[in-house]
Structures are given as C-alpha cells and as structure tokens.
Structure 1
Amino acid sequence: MTTDETIVVVGGGVSGLTTGIALLEAGLPVRLLAAEIPARTSLAAGAMWGPYLVEPWPRARGWSLTALEVFRELAGDPRTGVCMVSGIEAARHPASAPDWGELLPDLRRCTTDELPPGFAVGYHFTVPLIDMPVYLSYLQGRFADAGGMVEVRMLASIDEVERAAALVNCAGLGAGPLVGDDGLRPIRGQHVVVENPGISEFFSEDTGMSPDLACIYPHGDTVVLGGTAIDGDGTLAPDSVAAAGILARCAAIDPRLANAHIIEDRIGARPTRYEVRLELDHRSDGLPLVHNYGHGGAGVTLSWGCAREVAQIMKVALPSRSKR
C-alpha cells in the first residue's frame, strides 16, 4: 500500500488505538496521528467495564457487549492488564440494579451484611477491570505488531491531514473542534492511586449526578480510588482538595485505605456528548470520514464495539482496499 491509500486515525487514546487495531486486523493499512500516544485521559481512567450514562442505548448496548466479550478473552493474558474482578455497586438510598445489569449473568442483590455501614442496597457482579497504563501499552504493541504506523503532531483541523484514503476522528475532547461540533464538552475526572492494602474486590457507589464519586478499583499491587465528575471543567492540574476528598470517601467505605501510601494523582477530561457520534461523513474534499467520539466516561467500555463498527463501515466505503 502507498501512503495515500492509508486510513488515518486521529487520536491516541483507547478509542483511537482500538480502532486502529480493528482496521489493521480487517486488512486495512493505518496511520495513527495524535499529539500524544497514549492520550492522558485514557491513562487516567479507572477503569471498570460499565456503560454508564451513555446514549443511544440500543447501539451502546451492542458496543458494550462486544467489548465485554473481548475483555473476557484478554483477561486470560496477564500482559494485557485486564482481569475479571467481582465486587459491589451500592447506594445509600433505595435503588434498582443498573440498567445494564441484564448484560451480566451473575448479577445478584447483596445481603445486608455484605454492605458497608450507611448503604441501603447493593448489587454484586463480576466485570472486567482494566489497568490502563498496562492495557494501553498492550494496545500500542498490538497496533505496531499489526503493521500500524504512528505520526505524532497536533492538528487544528481535520483538513490538515494529508496522504490519506480515508479518515477516522477518534480525537476525544479534541474531536469536536477538529470538525466544528460544539456539542462536545469536558467532564473532569480525578483519581488517586495508592498501594494496595489487601483489597481484591471493587466497590462503586451510585452517587447519582453528584460530582463527588466513590469507587475502589484494585489492580494487583495498586488501587485506583475515585473520583470526581465536574461537568464543563477540562483543566488537568491536580487538585489537592479533591484528592483529600476522594481518600476520605474511600477510607470511610474501606478503612484499610486510611493509611495507604499515595503513589500519584491521575487527571483526565472525559469527552462527553448528548450521544456518541459514530457515523460515516465526508471531508470537504470528498474523503470518507468516520466519526467515533463522544463516549464520555464509557470510552473503554464501548471501545471494541465502536472500533469494529468503524472497520465495517470502512470496508464498505473502501472495498478495493479491504483484504481479499
């Protein structure tokens, strides 16, 4: 393939890398173009599978199921950073099971003695938990092994991309400005990573629309504690007050965390839209352009489903370049 027959995927986060892999494994040549690889927001993710607050649900359901199947397969390989982990989502008020609970065959209501003090109801289930630094390194290796090329640079417009047969917009929070979509907004998220004091199950509190979250995600020797969800805030500097609040909320749930050694803060800006945009478009010069952005806090959860749909779209849009 010559360079002008290549599909250029814009974006170096989990969506861009996964989409690049799906295209390569479908027999299509790919160049990944991004200012940073891997992207900071993807590195900052918790990350637990779960299609939280994402629309349109009929499509998101299918994307989520695809990713769930892939993650279950990857969990058998320790190099991926993916593990199947059991745990609890709970609320301090009466609450029904998560809407997506129907996708999990082992979901059950918790007994009272399984819940921390102050919680009224909870649901126990097993889902993939993803150690994002390890997982993103795995994706980068898989992308390279499949023959993917990388170009590191900043774009101001999608029209700046040259030497491409088609484009995929996976630029996260930058995806909207690249194509003039003002419906994308940031939701700031902060996590605190601590040494693991012996926690093996996750815990997540249903805090509704509060910006103050409480989640505990064990990843072997470390635990990722969350978090925050500050709508409209895209700043990426650590906030010591927010970090102290995260630690206090999580230690109240599991006292073993009270004196855990702090390793680092992780901060990202979730690229949020009223619904995920995944559709075929065309650039002003007629080049096929597939949008794949606006996943909010469910980017990891939707990644493989969205990526494989992009690959199917491209195989139709560029049939002569697909593997014969």
Structure 2
Amino acid sequence: MSSEPSDEVIVVGSGIAGLTTAVVLAEAGRRVRVWARDFAERTTSAVAGGLWWPYRIEPEPLAGAWALASLAVYEDLADRPEETGVRLVDGVHRGARLDELGEWAARVPGLRAEADGLAARLPVIDMPVHLAWLRGRLTRAGGVVEAREVTDLTAVPAGVVVNCTGLGARSLVPDPAVRPVRGQLVVVENPGITTWFTCVGHTSAASTYLVPQPGRLLLGGTAEEDDWSLEPDPATAAAIVARCAAVRPEISGARILAHRVGLRPARQAVRLERQPLPDGRALVHNYGHGGAGITVAWGCAREAAGLVSPAA
C-alpha cells in the first residue's frame, strides 16, 4: 500500500448492505469500489425471501427508523418492478399485534389489525433481479465491483474502508458476537397465490411463510441459531411444505423447483460505527443486520455514508 492513503472508498462485501452503501456513496460523488469474495448472486442476500419487515434485528428503535427510510425507497422503486425487482404485495402477518411492535409500526402506510393478525401492502423484492439492478446503478454512478478476497481489513488500500461483510465479520474483524441463524427455503411452482403470508415467532426455530415471486413461490422457513450448515435438509424441507400447505392446500401439489439455505448474520445489535485505524485512516462498520438486511438496507447505507464523510 502506498504511504499516501487513497481518497477512494472501498466497500468490502457485495450483499444488499454492501451494494446499497456503495450506491449511496457513489451517487454522493465519492470514488467507490466494492471488493467481495463472492458476487451478489452468491451471497446470503440472494437467498432471502425478500419481504420487507423488521425481523430478528436489534435495537428495535434504530432498526425501525432504518426500515422506514428503506420502505420509502422501495415504494418508489415499485413503480418499475421489472427493472428493480420491487413490487408492492398484499399479505397478512398471522399472530402479529400492533401493540407488540415499536413506534415505527404506526408509520407503515396501511398497516392494520385484522382478526388473526396484521395486514398490509408491503414491498416484496425479487432479490436476484434487485441485486443485479443495484450493481448496474452503482456502475452508472461510476462505481466498480471487483472479485477480491479480503483477509485483513487494515490492509485494504483506501482512505476509508467500509465493512459490509455480514457473517464474515465474525472472523474478519474479528467479532465473535456475530452468529449464524440458518434459514432454509423451498422454491415451488406457484399454483396461483398472489399474496404473502407469515406466521413467525421471533424465538422459534420453525416458522411458516410464503412469498410470491415472479415465476415461483418461496416457502419457509427456519431460524436455527448457531447452525453453519448450508446443505438443505430433506426432513426440514418436507416440514416447510407441510406447514405452508396447511395454510394454502394448493401448495401440496406444487412442483418443487429448488432448495435454498442462507445464514443470517445475527448480532445483539447492528454494528454501525466509525473506527479509526492505526495509520489514521477510517474503518466504517455496517453489519449484523440479522434477518432484516433488505428491510434496513437504505437507512443503514445512508448512515454509513454519513460516517464515511462525517460533518466537520
């Protein structure tokens, strides 16, 4: 590395947090590169169901504010669903109650109590399409995505390094507070379901949700703490299909297209802060978003960008 630090920003990580943060920085006029071992299509973000909703993320007051900022962006992007991968879709959170949610819930347009839970029209993001769109938006803003494996954040040659490595932060920072929460999905042919549905306990390892995406239906799910396995479990998959078919019987005959597993980067609180490096450069952390990386992406990206260029 040269003795003079670059005025460039290098974002480490190409999932939803990394790409969104890079877009915000590039569109603010910063020179940005994204370094990632895996391109976006191979990250946990690509596996996600894509429904906007704060899930398994702390602290709730901050998460709620980040989520609302992101919601406003997704509502705008939903005007161009084929391009951005974002659509507004009706659905129900069975068993959820307004009085159990934070203050953010009162600001979600159309969120209302029904007999068996909460109903709303929320963003559903087709993640492969959206990640590709984000990368294109970054490129148009002058940013670059490079395949680079980082083993030492302090050795990244940039004036500011932004750490968006998700679960990778456990070993890279290192931060043992980051832990995996395993999620397994089953992808089936959609038998005509147009609304999403969830019945999710925030402490249970098993949940029931179905999310319609173009050309397919995503069925879930699991939240298995400290489980590092990326191999789909056949018994778990069968249980997921059975739970979802109990809600919508037509699912029982749907042809299975794929099985997916992702590891959510859980932490007792999102780490979003600026840390000085020994040589005077800065390291900005933006990781630990649990099951809500998509939900808080834009709010966290804007805050991270503010830490890259703090006000004088």
Question: TM-score if structure 2 supplies the norm length?
Answer: 0.93
1:103 is aligned to 2:107: yes
1:68 is aligned to 2:71: yes
Amino acid at match of 2:131: L
Find the counterpart in structure 1 of residue 19 from structure 2. 17
3-state SS of 1:197 partner: coil
Find the counterpart in structure 2 of residue 286 from structure 1. 280
| Residue 220 (structure 1) shift | 2.8
> Which aligned pairs between 1:1-324 and structure 2 lie closer than 5 A?
4-38=6-40, 39-78=42-81, 79-91=83-95, 96-97=97-98, 99=101, 100-111=104-115, 121-162=116-157, 164-316=158-310
Cα distance per residue 1:210-230 (max 9 Å; x no partner): 111110101132111111110
3-state SS of 1:296 partner: coil
Cα distance per residue 1:1-20 (max 9 Å; x no partner): x9922100000100000000
Cα distance per residue 1:17-61 (max 9 Å; x no partner): 000000001111111001011042111100111112322222212
Q: Aligned partners of 2:145, 2:43: CA distance in 1, in Å?
A: 17
Find the counterpart in structure 2 of residue 115 from structure 1. none
Question: TM-score if structure 1 supplies the norm length?
Answer: 0.90
Amino acid at match of 1:235: S
Instruction: Point out the more displaced range, 72-81 or 145-154.
Output: 145-154
Contact 1:43 1:132 in 2 (8 A): yes
Contact 2:185 2:221 in 1 (8 A): yes
3-state SS of 1:289 partner: strand
Unaligned ranges ≥5, structure 2? none
- What number of residue pairs does the alignment pair up? 304
Residue identity over aligned pairs, in percent, reads 46
Contact 2:68 2:108 in 1 (8 A): no
| Residue 152 (structure 1) shift | 0.8
3-state SS of 1:258 partner: helix
Q: Aligned partners of 1:285, 1:233: CA distance in 2, in Å?
A: 37
Q: CA RMSD in A?
A: 1.7
Q: Aligned partners of 2:213, 2:139: CA distance in 1, in Å?
A: 26
Q: Aligned partners of 1:147, 1:96: CA distance in 2, in Å?
A: 44
